Amino acid sequence: MVDFPPVISPTRLFGRFAVAGLIGFVAIAIIMFQLGMRLLEGHLVTETKETRAKYVNAILAHKLRETDFQSVKKGADWELFREQIADLFSIPEIVRVKIYNREGTLIWSDAVALLEMAPDAKKNPDLLEALEGHVEAEISALEKEEHRFERGTFRNLMELYVPIYFSGSKKVEGVAEVYLNVDPLFVTIRNSGWLVGSAIFGGLGLLLITSFIGLGKAVTVIQTQNQNLRNALTEIFKANRVKDDLITNLAHEFQNPDAIRSYAEMLLDGALGDLPNKANPSVEKMRNTAAELLSHFNRTLELTRLKLGDFSTQKENVELTGLIRNITSDLRFLCGDRAVSFEVEVPPEQVVIKSDRKLVQQVILNLVSNAIKFTKKGHIRTRLDDSTDSDRVRIAIEDTGVGIKSEELPMIFDEFYRGTHGDARFKSGVGLGLAIVKRSLDLVRGDIQVESVYGQGSKFTVILPKDI
């Protein structure tokens, strides 16, 4: 009698196949589940990073200036800086804010204690990448010492490094590091995971359908948030455009000062007959005041154009000797009486640089007219120096006017800033001349140095490259 191997019953065979199939199904489902969850998490994190980075840069580029990155903010400066960037904290996910300058030095944080424990920039690769112009982000488990303020409150935070660019500039002025609360995002992902996991055991087809539905909803939410963000940014830019258009239109409409100046010059030149001697001072004052008023509106218009980027730098030959003589000749009459001597020192030969003629001209024009405005007696000297070094020229405008107080020096290039002096030749200034000078020099890669003693006078030295 032959012994045959035992026959496996259909039930047991089915059970074995069922177990093998179940194991394979579960393995495939887990792999697909993990892959799907990783894709979902990565997509949401990337979208969050990009949208928040754009919003952070838009706010800071609008609110900050280059001078804000020059020193660490402590004491009263810390409070003023927080008020300056208050709009940034309107983003509900933001937990912490740090601002670095272009050298990687931490100049401000909403937690003052962090200013004393900032790590070396060379040990922070994400910060170094951001200083090169790349948006960087990573999910942190709050293991560093600088995260001690967030432990116990959050499980995960996204550290987002955003390069800060000013309007029209490609140079990174600094970096904003913000902590974003991503716990709600991870809760959403985990809840979606339980739903996906339950759907897996109901069938692979149901898993795929549910995943696409969940992903579609998540993308819809992100797209809605992005659209809201774009709408908010559009409103911000629209408000700025309305303001700048208003200034531009006003400047265009105010042509009367030019007409008044022309009539006054005709009267002084005797085109309409000789004036009584006692009328000459009044007519001269009318001419000077009209010229000054027209200058204010022209400056307002020019600054608006520079801020809007409505200006393309032209590289051309600029002959500085003749340019300085023409400008000083046109402005000499503003000195009025002979109490102020007007001196111009330029080399006998031509000095030619490759730059933007209009920008260079308005730099010299604003500085010379500013010197005239604040000098009642003594001298105003404009000097061109081409011998200091081989690739730059220097133009110095020196006066014996009222000077600048030491505490006001850091603010003189701010828009609409007017000093506290009360004895200027003309008192109708709006504080735009030096702001235009600074923006114009930035465009032609120039620099400016200021020396001043209050009550004795000032010296502004413009340094221009011979080739931009």
Residue after which a domain boundary falls, among 198, 214, 230: 214
Same domain flag for 209 and 317: no
Same domain flag for 34 and 148: yes
Same domain flag for 57 and 206: yes
Assess contact for 317 and 360: CB atoms under 8 A: no
Q: Coil, strand or helix: which one is 175?
A: strand
Residue after which a domain boundary falls, among 214, 232, 247: 214
What token pair was written down for 127? 């910060």
Could you give the CA distance from residue 230 to residue 304 in angstroms, rounded to a whole number?
24
Supply the pLDDT for residue 346.
92
Supply the pLDDT for residue 106.
92
Give the bridge partners for 431, in sequence order: none
Which CATH number is 138's domain given? 3.30.450.20
Supply the pLDDT for residue 189.
66
Could you give the CA distance from residue 119 to residue 97 in angstroms, rounded to a whole number?
15
Supply the pLDDT for residue 10.
46
Supply the pLDDT for residue 117.
79
Which CATH number is 436's domain given? 3.30.565.10
Total of domains in the chain: 2
Give the bridge partners for 344, in sequence order: 382
Position 355 in a domain: yes
Ranges of the chain whose pLDDT falls below 70:
1-27, 29, 32-33, 36-37, 40-41, 186, 189-223, 226, 239-240, 242-264, 268-280, 283, 287-288, 290-311, 336-338, 387-389, 419-430
Domain span holding position 123: 10-214
Same domain flag for 201 and 337: no
Could you give the CA distance from residue 120 to residue 408 in angstroms, rounded to a whole number?
33
Per residue in 350-401, pLDDT tens? Answer: 999 999 999 999 899 989 988 988 888 899 999 998 765 678 999 999 999 9
Position 257 in a domain: no
Closest CA to 371 of 397, 337, 396, 333: 397
Position 268 in a domain: no
Whole-structure pTM value: 0.42
Q: Which of the 8 DSSP states describes residue 4?
A: P
Assess contact for 166 and 60: CB atoms under 8 A: no
One-letter identity of residue 460: F
Closest CA to 302 of 254, 351, 244, 356: 244
